[in-house]
Chains A and B, each alone.
Chain A
């Protein structure tokens, strides 16, 4: 089975900062990589699909890149409403999550 290693597990940044989360697959997964946002007590929400495609209605400050085994998720300018846990996903496997907080 493919393993997804996400880092860091948590981070704290200031409003307006650029935030980067990485996800590494244990083998080549081409571009089948998605990113989700989950706020406390809520279901996850799809933000990025197919590595770099922004889901409809998602703000453009969110972006994704990568290929093969190494992928990156970026928030270009962190906003207070972005406080959440973010997960990468490849088919049936999710990364461990990254909790993003405001400093």
Chain B
């Protein structure tokens, strides 16, 4: 059974940093593109970053470029999102997910972790 479990969310002040982690199990992690998708309260879905299976390619939404860094450790079946210079508008539930078909289709999602940026 595919499982994606996020951790690391919480309350942080504007300008602060936070690192999200995602523990993957039940599939061959090193074979899949992995994205982070967020959803602000009452809003729609936004893919903020995704990373190639071997970590050699990474893509970011314009809204987070230069502030967020996606990474992975295939030996630990883990995905990460380092978030720096956080802003109020980064407040959202952050989902770790699995992409199949070469980053075209998100077929599994974690339960999400809430990040709140507020003073």
Contact = CB atoms under 8 A, between A and B. Distances in A.
B92 to A, nearest CB: 13
A71 interface: no
B112 interface: yes
B61 A44 contact: no
A32 B109 contact: no
Interface in B32-54: 35, 44-47, 50
A94 B47 contact: yes
A91 B103 contact: yes
Category for how many chain A residues contact B: 20 to 34
B44 A96 contact: yes
Nearest to B100: A49
A66 interface: no
Q: How would you classify the secondary structure of chain B's contact residues: helix, strand, loop or mixed?
A: strand
B14 interface: no
Contact of B61 (A49, A89, A92): A92
Interface in B91-111: 95, 101, 103-107, 109-111
Nearest to A9: B44
Interface in B60-119: 61, 95, 101, 103-107, 109-112
Interface of B: 35, 44-47, 50, 59, 61, 95, 101, 103-107, 109-112
Given A32-B104, A89-B45, A92-B50, 16 more contacts: A34-B104, A34-B105, A34-B106, A44-B106, A46-B107, A49-B107, A50-B105, A87-B44, A87-B45, A91-B103, A91-B104, A92-B47, A94-B45, A94-B46, A94-B47, A97-B45
The 6 closest A-B pairs by CB, nearest first: A43-B109, A92-B47, A94-B45, A49-B105, A97-B44, A46-B107
